[in-house]
Chains A and B, each alone.
Chain A
């Protein structure tokens, strides 16, 4: 039996040498090509079979990446610049070119092997959360935004595309915030179809058409926008026509529909608007936009309306109420001249002529001329000695009277003056009660010729006075 190892047999050794020779010949004829796993890209064709241009031997301190950068100086230049793709992507010294780039796949094969859809674009500072599809079903490609080079981005690209979406808005937006879109936008937040309600501050009324920058002035970062308080005064302090006099709760009266009309509930103020005050224009009382501190006394506004010309002071409310001047409820009894009896129903102007109220004399004669009935009979005597306000008659004369005033009456009653005195108090007659024809017949029968003056014989009207039979008075003169 042959005890040599098989590999050391003559044939095996010949085979080894032949194989080694074949490798040597191949190396001489084709260089390192036999070690290549595939043809290089057309861009690398100059490298040929010089594997060492890219492949560092395992004992060398440098890596393949360093050898790539020997030629790719443009990438080397990007590495320190965070505005570039490689400057952003390559973090740390352990990054390698071959993590994304490949070779040996043929002259026209892609040199960059990465799933573009899965590319973590946010590491560049701009996430693609809102840029997944150009339109329903059509995804964005890298070239859509990186038109010239995948490693470059021109901010104008944003503006050009978004101008086609809303030209007017972009015009205003860029004027307000500038043209460097990426200075504010990081692609994470969705600003198109932005619902301001999400912030807790719904845009209503005029706020709907207000430019963002009108409130968010000089805001660029998200935090700048969020820093604006959702209060009226954070934007409208300068618009406050009340100059702070009403505090900062604008919403009590105003709404986003506009400053005017304001829905001010005056009844929340110290001065409630009642009656005719409710229909008065604000500026009638609040002149020059002055609201706070407006005096609440009537005279401040109604001085010109005072038809009493100040005679009654300034406490108008004593008589008047806001339902109208005419509806005054003057209590005349509070005056020096309480209205009693027939005075209650007398029209004011009967006494207060020419609307003069103050100083109206309280003497009866100021209004009541002495009647002819007793003209001049009671000089210096007050009417009230006989009369009451209930009526002129009956009057209550209690003064000296030669003839009993209770003549012909019973139970302490007295006769009315006019029972005897007709047509004035200076004249009198008995014939109101005593029939003149009967008196004449009786006195003629008695032979009394002159009986024209009854009192000469009947001074008190008593029975038996004057010799008569007392059947009714009369006298013999």
Chain B
């Protein structure tokens, strides 16, 4: 992945997905239904992107033994999938925002928004390529600024991760409901 270009790449990926959505819209003359082939596909792919990368990122971040990839790349991948996945889930909604599905989408939006804030706070603290605070650089920071940044980062973690947890709880309930009541609407 091009380092530092994750927002641009995510934007381009969203454009491609939006183009495919527009193509389906034009071809079928109808909004792709959430239960249709296209709607289901982008919903499932978007959720898998969200679930897997978030989980992998979390595992990589906390693992002591497994050291695959540099943390800065993982974060960029996390940001990329954290934008593209929710965008696909958003298109899966077929512009209906009621019920559990609507709540889940709303929470997805909240988590993504919090992610943007988190990225901003994250960059306040100088880090090495492995995501560890750079002792050399932090040493030259004003002590108060560093302390504020560390406090904010900690607070943000305390919000972003539980929000994500609530999101996945709602998402699983939505998925289980769909599986139970309307598995491919047979």
Interface 1/0s, chain A 1-33, versus B by CB < 8 A? 011111101011111101110010010000011
A55 CB-CB contact with B under 8 Å: yes
Give the segment of B3-11, B113-121, B161-169 that binds chain A: B161-169
Q: B165: which A residues are within 8 A, CB to CB?
A: 7, 12-13, 15-16, 19
B101 touches A37 (CB 8 A): yes
Q: B174: which A residues are within 8 A, CB to CB?
A: 35
Most buried by B among A5, A6, A15, A20: A6
Question: Known contacts A37-B34, A51-B181, A64-B186: does B162 contact A11 (CB below 8 Å)?
Answer: yes
Q: Interface size for chain B: under 10, 10 to 19, 20 to 34, or 35 or more residues?
A: 35 or more
B59 touches A5 (CB 8 A): yes
User: How far does the alpha carbon of A98 sit from the alpha carbon of B36 in the complex, in Å?
Assistant: 12
B62 touches A5 (CB 8 A): yes
Closest CB-CB distance, A39 to chain B, in whole Å? 9
Interface 1/0s, chain B 164-183, versus A by CB < 8 A? 11101110011001111111
A19 touches B169 (CB 8 A): yes
A38 touches B186 (CB 8 A): no
B100 CB-CB contact with A under 8 Å: yes
B98 CB-CB contact with A under 8 Å: yes
B58 CB-CB contact with A under 8 Å: yes
Q: A14: which B residues are within 8 A, CB to CB?
A: 162
A23 touches B100 (CB 8 A): yes
Q: A19: which B residues are within 8 A, CB to CB?
A: 165-166, 169-170
Question: Known contacts A5-B59, A6-B58, A58-B186: does B158 contact A38 (CB below 8 Å)?
Answer: no
A11 touches B181 (CB 8 A): no
User: How far does the alpha carbon of A56 sit from the alpha carbon of B179 in the complex, in Å?
Assistant: 10
User: How far does the alpha carbon of A51 sit from the alpha carbon of B99 in the complex, in Å?
Assistant: 14
Q: B164: which A residues are within 8 A, CB to CB?
A: 6-7, 12
Q: A98: which B residues are within 8 A, CB to CB?
A: 185
User: How far does the alpha carbon of A18 sit from the alpha carbon of B100 in the complex, in Å?
Assistant: 15
Interface 1/0s, chain A 226-262, versus B by CB < 8 A? 0000000000000000000000000000000000000
Q: B161: which A residues are within 8 A, CB to CB?
A: 6-7, 9, 11-12, 15
Q: B67: which A residues are within 8 A, CB to CB?
A: none
A34 CB-CB contact with B under 8 Å: yes
B100 touches A35 (CB 8 A): yes
A48 CB-CB contact with B under 8 Å: no
User: How far does the alpha carbon of A14 sit from the alpha carbon of B147 in the complex, in Å?
Assistant: 27
Contact of A55 among B64, B168, B169, B181 (CB under 8 A): B181
A408 CB-CB contact with B under 8 Å: no
User: How far does the alpha carbon of A7 sit from the alpha carbon of B56 in the complex, in Å?
Assistant: 12
Q: A387: which B residues are within 8 A, CB to CB?
A: none
Q: B162: which A residues are within 8 A, CB to CB?
A: 9, 11-12, 14-15
Q: B59: which A residues are within 8 A, CB to CB?
A: 5
Q: A20: which B residues are within 8 A, CB to CB?
A: 169
Q: Is the interface of A mostly helix, strand, loop or mixed?
A: helix
Q: B151: which A residues are within 8 A, CB to CB?
A: none
User: How far does the alpha carbon of A15 sit from the alpha carbon of B184 in the complex, in Å?
Assistant: 31
Q: B181: which A residues are within 8 A, CB to CB?
A: 35, 51-52, 55, 57
Closest CB-CB distance, A105 to chain B, in whole Å? 10
Residues of A within 8 A of B (CB-CB), count:
34
A105 nearest in chain B by CB position: B96
- In B31-65, the 8 Å CB interface with A consists of 34, 58-59, 61-62, 64
Q: A38: which B residues are within 8 A, CB to CB?
A: 96, 98
B186 touches A15 (CB 8 A): no
A409 CB-CB contact with B under 8 Å: no
Q: B169: which A residues are within 8 A, CB to CB?
A: 15-16, 19-20, 23
B180 touches A23 (CB 8 A): no
A63 CB-CB contact with B under 8 Å: yes
Interface 1/0s, chain A 84-120, versus B by CB < 8 A? 0000000000000010000000000000000000000
A56 touches B166 (CB 8 A): no
Contact of B185 among A18, A32, A34, A64 (CB under 8 A): A64
A62 nearest in chain B by CB position: B186
A56 nearest in chain B by CB position: B186
Q: A55: which B residues are within 8 A, CB to CB?
A: 180-182
Most buried by A among B62, B179, B186: B186
Q: A16: which B residues are within 8 A, CB to CB?
A: 165-166, 169
Closest CB-CB distance, A93 to chain B, in whole Å? 13
Closest CB-CB distance, B26 to chain A, in whole Å? 16
B residues apposed to A, CB below 8 Å: 34, 58-59, 61-62, 64, 96, 98-101, 103, 157-158, 161-166, 168-170, 173-174, 177-186
24 CB contacts below 8 A, A to B, read A2-B62, A4-B62, A5-B62, A6-B164, A7-B161, A7-B165, A7-B168, A12-B161, A12-B164, A12-B165, A13-B165, A15-B163, A15-B165, A19-B170, A33-B99, A35-B99, A35-B100, A36-B98, A38-B98, A52-B181, A55-B180, A57-B180, A57-B181, A57-B183
Q: A6-B58, A19-B170, A37-B96 are in contact. List 15 more A-B contacts (CB 8 A).
A: A3-B62, A3-B64, A14-B162, A15-B161, A15-B166, A19-B165, A23-B100, A26-B100, A34-B100, A35-B100, A35-B181, A57-B180, A58-B179, A58-B180, A58-B186
Which 4 A/B pairs are nearest by Cβ-Cβ distance?
Answer: A15-B162, A58-B183, A19-B169, A55-B181
